[in-house]
Structure 1
Amino acid sequence: MIKIGVLIPEQYKLLSVAAILEVFEAANKFQFASELKETFDITLLTINNQVDSFFKTYKTDTINTEEKFELILIPSFTTNDIKNTIALNRAYIPWLIKQYNSAAEIATFCTGAFLLGATGLLDGKAATTHVDACAAFSAAFPSVQLKADKTVTQDGRLFTSGGATSTFHLLLYLLQIHCGKDLAIKTAKIFAIDMDRHNQSYFSSFQPLRHHNDEIVACAQEKIELNYQDISTIEEMIKDIPSSRRNIVRRFKQVIGITPIEYLQQTRIEAAKKLLEQTAQQMTEVIYNSGYNDPKAFRKIFRKTVGMTPSQYRDKFQAR
């Protein structure tokens, strides 16, 4: 029997924990129905052994336990203040390192990757997280090889998943590793999960940092957002801003995490996505109205950024 430890940290997302428990319970039921022993022995792990009432039927323990787990699962968090959330859960960090050094596998779901990142175990390794949390993750853990477009990553005994329903893709992957593909397929059918989704880029939305105190950067952001259809060079962006090109680029990258040209590109692609979702404009109109003149260049940048062609994106997301 495989010993699984599911963390119940401060500010955990209930839906994330519920998905984890539902999938492994379903796997155990499949095994039992096939006259096999249940495969997974699940323990909920907390700092103080206090769990919400709906978890009372599960075995619980604290991280003071000397028990060694084969697989440890870290759910997503509910908050956008991830720095404070990690501080609230810092007691888990040495415990996770100890378990990993004792040969445990560790898997994180969505923003749960931030807690694993704080252990240092992901340094130099591949990881993913929710697409809209990738910029914050990259800034917090620059040594991690962030794969922002990936639904699931594995690097040795460390696993991560992207946002929301990507949780199920990682759970199925873990089932396949530990129990074989047949059980993973049975479970996928029960939860109606497409097993072949490997990319999450098209779920992202460009949400640049706005609450900062750099007036020059804020001015540059405003100029780009108001004039993205017409400007194409940094010189045009900074024409009326009282600062040198070098200083603006440096400060912009430091505050926002990307260069002004990258910001312009992201703004244009986001505009194109909205036009594809919300209008019936011809593709040539979408290209022009999002600030591009070269259809070939637009399609190349769109596919690289979004993970699919503009036509595929419209087919998938346009309101009918």
Structure 2
Amino acid sequence: MKHISILVPKGDVALSCIEGSFTVFNKVNDFLAASGRSPLFKVQLVGLARAPETYHRLFAVTPDLILDEVSQTDLIVIPAVNGDYQQVISMNKEFFPWIVKQHHKGAEVASLCVGAFLLASTGLLDGKKCSTHWFAAHHFRKMFPDVELVSEKIITDEGGIYSSGGAASFYNLIIYLVEKYAGKELAVLCSKMFEIEFERSTQSAFIIFEGQKGHDDEPIRKAQEYIEQNFSERISVDQLAAMFSLSRRNLERRFKKATSNTAVEYMQRVKIEAAKNSLETGSENVTEVMYKVGYTDTKAFRTTFKKITGLSPQEYRNKYNRQVAVAS
């Protein structure tokens, strides 16, 4: 039997991550019981104290066990934590040595959404790939530069250290773990029961690019603003460098440091975000939108759009434009 420890952190926690994980793993046990088989999972909530943790002033979650009572486990699930990340990390730092110890004894570890901030704080992610909610990506990169963030991914699996993308996509990771531990048949059954799209691999289509301006490099911030205000124009890196009295090399270095994007990547993302907004709300066709955001090469536009969103421009319009959706 697999022993699963779902953490009950202190602070502002996404209750759905605790309840959802608990429910799915136990539903597998129900499926097995219905076919005359033994349960596969023993699911327990593990906290720092016996007292219930109250979330959103309404919902109390009582741990089954405290850390000292868990000598060994097979999987540790870290739910999403919200609020000031430094503060949440400090509130839950007593979990970290225990997580590391259990991992060294063979336990696997899975973070859900922004639970990645707690997992990264253990050091177990250093040099490894990790995903989290796209909205928190810039904060995560600044706080954990030794972790390779792949925020477009729904699931990462680094030799038994797992992470999921944002919000409800944690269900995709739980289904992935069900498949690993219980087989594809039960994973598919869970996906149908909970109506979770099976084997979804990217959250790129959900990402809203707002630009990373939480830095102190004023010339780079002004360059960002210029790009955002003139996205339909053809802007070169040399032009930007000259505008702000920087060498090209210096601008590129500082731009990457400040925003986690190269200047060219930033220009592409601003253009594609504008294209997404037009495709969602407007009546223009894909070609009209392409010209509107400053592209003249159809192939380049489609390639860049799909690289950033995971969908072709037409697929994106069909999926997210309300008028198209209603008409179909």
Q: Same fold (TM over 0.5)?
A: yes
1:5 and 1:72 in contact (8 A); partners too: yes
Q: Provide, for residues 178-227 of structure 1, a one-character-per-residue CA deviation record: whole Å limited to 9, x for no partner.
A: 11222212211110112131121111111222343332222112111111
Letter matched to residue 22 of structure 1: T
Equivalent position SS for 1:176: helix
Q: What is residue 186 of structure 2 aligned with on the other side?
A: 183
Contact 1:139 1:257 in 2 (8 A): no
What root-mean-square deviation, in Å, do the aligned CA atoms of Structure 1 and Structure 2 show? 2.0
| Residue in structure 2 matched with residue 140 of structure 1 by the alignment | 143
**1:165 aligned partner:** 168
Which segment is superposed worse, 228-237 or 161-170?
228-237
Stretches of structure 2 that go unaligned for 5 or more consecutive residues are: 324-328
| 1:223-282, Cα deviation, whole Å (9 max, x unpaired) | 111111113202333444344444433332222222222211111110011111111112
The answer to whether the Cα contact below 8 Å between 1:132 and 1:207 also exists between their aligned partners in 2 is: no
**Which of 180, 193, 198 in structure 2 is aligned with 1:195?**
198
Q: Is the 8 A contact 1:132 1:204 kept in 2?
A: yes
What is aligned with 2:76? Answer: 72
Give the equivalent residue in structure 1 for 2:129. 126
Query: 1:104 aligns to what?
Result: 107
Match of 1:257 among 248, 257, 260: 260
| Contact 2:50-2:63 at 8 Å conserved across structures | no
Structure 2 residue matching 1:156: 3-state secondary structure: coil
8 A contact 1:231–1:237 mirrored in 2: no
The 1:213/1:145 distance shift into structure 2, 3 A limit, reads: closer
Residues 116 and 132 in structure 2, CA contact (< 8 A), matched pair in contact too: yes
Q: Which residue of 1 aligns with 2:326?
A: none
CA contact (8 A) 1:108 1:161 kept: yes
Instruction: Indicate the percent of aligned positions where both proteins have the same amino acid.
Output: 37
Counterpart for residue 299 of structure 2 = 296
Q: Aligned to 2:233, which of 230, 233, 238?
A: 230
Name the SS of the counterpart of 2:273 in structure 1. helix
Q: Which amino acid aligns with 1:30?
A: F
Contact 2:47 2:63 in 1 (8 A): no
**1:154 Cα deviation (Å)?**
1.3
2:315 pairs with one of 293, 303, 312: 312
**TM-score scaled by structure 2?**
0.90
Residue 272 of structure 2 is aligned to residue 276 of structure 1 = no
CA-CA distance at 1:135 after TM superposition? 3.2
Aligned to 2:9: 9
Looking at structure 1, the residues matched to 176 and 46 of structure 2 have their Cα atoms a distance apart, in angstroms, of 22
C-alpha separation in 2, matches of 1:219 and 1:156: 42
- Once the two structures are superposed, residues 98-124 of structure 1 have per-residue CA deviations (whole angstroms, 9 ceiling, x without a partner) of 000010011111111121112121223
The alignment status of 1:51 with 2:55, answered yes or no, reads no
Residue 155 (structure 1) aligned to one of 150, 154, 158 = 158
| Alpha-carbon shift at residue 315 of structure 1 (Å) | 1.1
TM-aligned CA distance change 1:14 to 1:67, over 3 Å: same
Q: Does structure 1 conserve the Cα–Cα contact (< 8 Å) formed by 2:51 and 2:63?
A: no
The secondary structure found in structure 2 opposite 1:149 is: coil
Structure 1: tracts of 5 or more residues without a match: none
Calculate the TM-score normalised by the size of structure 1.
0.92
Distance of 1:120 and 1:155 partners within structure 2: 13
